[in-house]
Structure 1
Amino acid sequence: MKVEARLFDVITVFFFLAAIIYGLWAKEVVGIVGLILTGGLSLLVASYFHFVARRTAGRAEDNPDAEIADGAGELGFFSPGSYWPVGVAAAAALAALAMAFWQVWLLVIAVVCLLLTVGGLVFEYHTRPNATD
């Protein structure tokens, strides 16, 4: 995570410097505020990556002398065939459509559909604990 943290550190410095230069050059308030807020958001991400990097073991990406084989191995579990993401996308599209036309009844339906599909996605591989009788 150190590589990502450094990357966002550079982005944060760039946006704050761009805000200063833009403020001196253009004297326009909205652009300055936008650049400062963008720098603040990238600072939040950089802080998170620094926080996580201190608490996790070093990865192959963080070692400049690492070989490609050092990064081999299992990366995690990825569902081979799940239709829940399609349902989440459809419910989110329905919610966006409801907000675009401000149809509150459709927004309520979309939020319920969104909650159901996200719940299905999260608990897709959940198994209940064994009952001991």
Structure 2
Amino acid sequence: MKIESWIFGVTTVFLVLVSPAYWFITDAGESGADWTGTSALVMTTLLTAMLWLYLGFHARRMDARPEDREDAEVADGAGELGFFPPYSWWPLWCAAALAVVTFGIAVQAWWLFIIAIVLGAVALSGWIFEYYRGEYAH
């Protein structure tokens, strides 16, 4: 995870330099100016710094992966890589419910919002518990 940490570190340093430059160039310090871009850059800087610190913290405490070692060979990375779930329809229904929730709020149709929340809870429960029933149960 060392290379991932370096990527976020370089991005954080870049954003630390760019954020104040953007603030000065757009005159965000003056009254009536738009703060949206500066706020977005500052929040992005904080997000990349958080990921940099997290990945750097864990990279020092874990064993080196084959891709992190200079003397590693291709065979060192062989074997099971993890669990990859099969296809699922539940993410589609969760996204559709979220879209209807957002639409219900936008048009102030509270009855539609409530129905979408209920259907979204059902879809989210189905997605969470899909590996406890059916063909892929374990």
Question: TM-score of the superposition, structure 1-length normalised?
Answer: 0.76
Q: Relative to structure 1, is the Cα distance of residues 71 and 25 closer, same or farther in structure 2, using a 3 angstrom cutoff?
A: same
Structure 2: unaligned runs, 5 residues or longer: 30-34, 134-138
Identity among equivalent pairs (%): 42
Residue-by-residue CA offset, 1:72-128 (whole Å, 9 max, x unaligned): 32222222232222222222222232233232222222222222222221221137x
Deviation of 1:15 (Å): 0.8
The CA distance in 2 between the partners of 1:57 and 1:34, in whole Å, is 36
Q: Note if 1:46 corresponds to 2:38.
A: no
Q: For residue 103 of structure 1, what is the aligned residue in structure 2? A: 109
Q: Relative to structure 1, is the Cα distance of residues 107 and 82 closer, same or farther in structure 2, using a 3 angstrom cutoff?
A: same
Deviation of 1:49 (Å): 2.0
User: Which has the larger displacement, 65-74 or 3-12?
Assistant: 65-74
Q: CA RMSD in A?
A: 2.4
Q: Provide the secondary structure at the position in 2 that maps to 1:34.
A: helix
Residue-by-residue CA offset, 1:13-44 (whole Å, 9 max, x unaligned): 11110012223444324233332222012112
Q: For residue 124 of structure 2, what is the aligned residue in structure 1? A: 118
Number of residue pairs matched? 127
Q: Note if 1:4 corresponds to 2:4.
A: yes
Q: Provide the secondary structure at the position in 1 that maps to 2:64.
A: coil
Q: For residue 95 of structure 2, what is the aligned residue in structure 1? A: 89
Q: For residue 32 of structure 2, what is the aligned residue in structure 1? A: none
Question: TM-score of the superposition, structure 2-length normalised?
Answer: 0.73
Matches within 5 A, 1:71-90: 71-90=77-96
CA contact (8 A) 1:3 1:61 kept: no
Residue-by-residue CA offset, 1:39-65 (whole Å, 9 max, x unaligned): 012112222222333444322232244
Q: Relative to structure 1, is the Cα distance of residues 24 and 93 closer, same or farther in structure 2, using a 3 angstrom cutoff?
A: closer
